[in-house]
């Protein structure tokens, strides 16, 4: 194994979270303001997941005061504290870019019901 892959494997996140596109996630991430740090939550629907080892990332989208807000997080970032799956979504696509054109109830993803 070459040196770069060895260093990347040391920085991978050990805890593996099982979320998919369409799920609603609440992500707590650390924000540094001056010399203080605090946790801030961002809750939204997962519209895309990009695999790729150390560069794995996912994008969350939510509607805030009538404006769509998207945020991309690096999965292996040390700033991410916790993931919480709020609800599972039932989708048939790998990327949910069509949600960008929807407003109101049309932008909702159906909930997956486990039997």
Instruction: Give residue 112's pLDDT.
Output: 87
d(CA 88, CA 13): 22
Instruction: Give residue 24's pLDDT.
Output: 93
The secondary structure element, H or E, covering residue 3 is helix 3-10
d(CA 91, CA 78): 30
Listed as ranges, residues in the chain with pLDDT below 50 are none
Instruction: Give residue 69's pLDDT.
Output: 92
Instruction: Give residue 36's pLDDT.
Output: 94
Record the tokens describing residue 27, joined without a space: 């992500």
Instruction: Give residue 9's pLDDT.
Output: 80
CB 56 within 8 A of CB 72: no
**What does pTM read for this prediction?**
0.84
How many other C-beta atoms lie within 10 A of the C-beta of residue 46?
23
């Amino acid at each position: 194994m070459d040196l770069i892959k060895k260093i990347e494997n040391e920085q991978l996140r050990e805890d593996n979270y099982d979320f998919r596109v369409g799920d609603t996630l609440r992500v707590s991430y650390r924000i540094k303001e001056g010399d203080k740090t605090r946790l801030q939550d961002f809750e939204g629907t997962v519209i895309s997941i990009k695999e790729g080892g150390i560069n794995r990332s996912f994008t969350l989208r939510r509607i805030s005061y009538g404006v769509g807000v998207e945020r991309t997080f690096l999965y292996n970032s040390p700033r991410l504290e916790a993931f919480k799956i709020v609800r599972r979504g039932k989708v048939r696509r790998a990327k949910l870019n069509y949600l960008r054109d929807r407003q109101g109830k049309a932008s909702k993803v159906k909930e997956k019901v486990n039997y």
